[in-house]
Amino acid sequence: MRFLGIDPGTKSFDVCCFEDDVCNVVLDISIPSEDVARDPYEIFKAIKSVNADFIVGPSGYGLEFKHISKFTDRDVALTTLDKVDDVDIPVLKGLRRLLWLMKEANLNAYSIPGIIQLPTIPLHRKLNKIDMGTADKTCVAALAIWDQAREYGISYSDVNLICVEIGFGYNAAIAIENGKIVDGIGGTIFPGPGYLTLSLMDGELAYLLGSFSKLKLFQGGAVWIALKDTIDPMSFSMKIDSDEKFKLAWNAMLEGILKAISMELTVLNSRPREIIVTGRLSRIDRLFKDIKTTIYRKFNLNTRRPRVFAEIAKDVAQGAALIANGIGNGKYRSLIDSLEIKNARGTVLDYISLPDFSIDYIIKNLRSN
């Protein structure tokens, strides 16, 4: 049987599919998100061509566990939280178009929850939050859990770690204890800049900006601090030691990662075995070395990258493929049992307590196409 996972990333859409087990990868591709937004048929045809038996589709911010045949306009709107009168952002547009193509083709695909929807997280940690980690962070957490269990020859229930995702757009940190996700710090509440993104926004700044485009959430990060423009992360890393602006931006980003780890350490009842760092920027040795050295100096914790099984598709797509295997009662079924993915309920908007916040009104003004 074939199991396929999709990562709808800020920079690229990645797809990973394996047959029976991870040693037999049959699809391993990456397509720029802007290309997917312009024409989603290329990636759709690649997905369809491998005849996967079970698929974890792109779920954006996260949905209840649901077959794609049951998707409604409301579901698709909830995946991107993108207002109809705002700028159409490529990654979000591509995600929505791909979901509709997959539904029309009657693929055996499923949505999965974001971190906030998981029943393993205490209710008090969810209050007045939306982004504790999008559905792709659920996928990367699955990869980290699977990887630590394999690395140390332990059961999923013995896995204890903090997973730090360092992507092209957003960063995130996920606390995992006894094989279960117990907390998450998503990209828009992360305590320091991501590569592209501002991350946590000062409420006073939000007030002064007034009504602003979602595009603003993809700006203000390390590369904007250094350059007020975008360049690829490898080029950024080569300037840290020679350009003060790049050094300043990297220090801000690095310290944000440390703060996120510190926050997650406070909610864990036991010391994590290690920090697992994933994401596009973690693959750049210059950046990973700084992260590993600083984490060890501050917390006396070892840091490593997961031992991946695909060469091209990023960590999220691989984690999604593992979850697809679990959904299909494959070798890794106990992984999704540990995550309690099938028990996730509600929407990512359910925990806001502001008096004038209406979920129905919000959703009515979101894009679904």
**Per-residue pLDDT tens for 56-68?**
999 999 999 999 9
Residue 228's pLDDT band, with cuts at 50, 70 and 90, is confident
Ranges of each domain in the chain = 2-364
Q: So what's the pLDDT on residue 212?
A: 87
Q: So what's the pLDDT on residue 91?
A: 85
Q: So what's the pLDDT on residue 351?
A: 97
d(CA 238, CA 359): 45
Residue 116 scores a pLDDT above 90: yes
Q: So what's the pLDDT on residue 221?
A: 96
**Per-residue pLDDT tens for 152-164?**
999 999 999 999 9
Q: So what's the pLDDT on residue 16?
A: 98
Q: What percentage of the chain reaches a pLDDT higher than 90?
A: 94
- Decide if 184 contacts 115 (C-beta within 8 A): yes
Q: So what's the pLDDT on residue 280?
A: 94
Residue 20 scores a pLDDT above 90: yes
- Decide if 139 contacts 200 (C-beta within 8 A): no
Mean pLDDT of the chain: 96
Residue 208 scores a pLDDT above 90: yes
Among 26, 61, 62, smallest CA distance to 46 is for 26
| β partners of residue 163 | 174, 276
Q: Which residue has the higher pLDDT, 86 or 325?
A: 325
Note if the pTM is more than 0.75.
Answer: yes
Average pLDDT score over residue span 23-40: 95
Q: Residue holding tokens 């997280």?
A: 121
d(CA 62, CA 53): 22
Structure tokens at 282: 């973690």
d(CA 120, CA 175): 11
Residue 211's pLDDT band, with cuts at 50, 70 and 90, is confident
CA-CA distances (angstroms) from residue 174 to 35, 167, 179, 338, 366? 30, 14, 12, 15, 28
Residue 231 scores a pLDDT above 90: yes
**Per-residue pLDDT tens for 235-282?**
999 999 999 999 999 999 999 999 999 999 999 999 999 999 999 999
CATH class in words for 2-364 = alpha beta
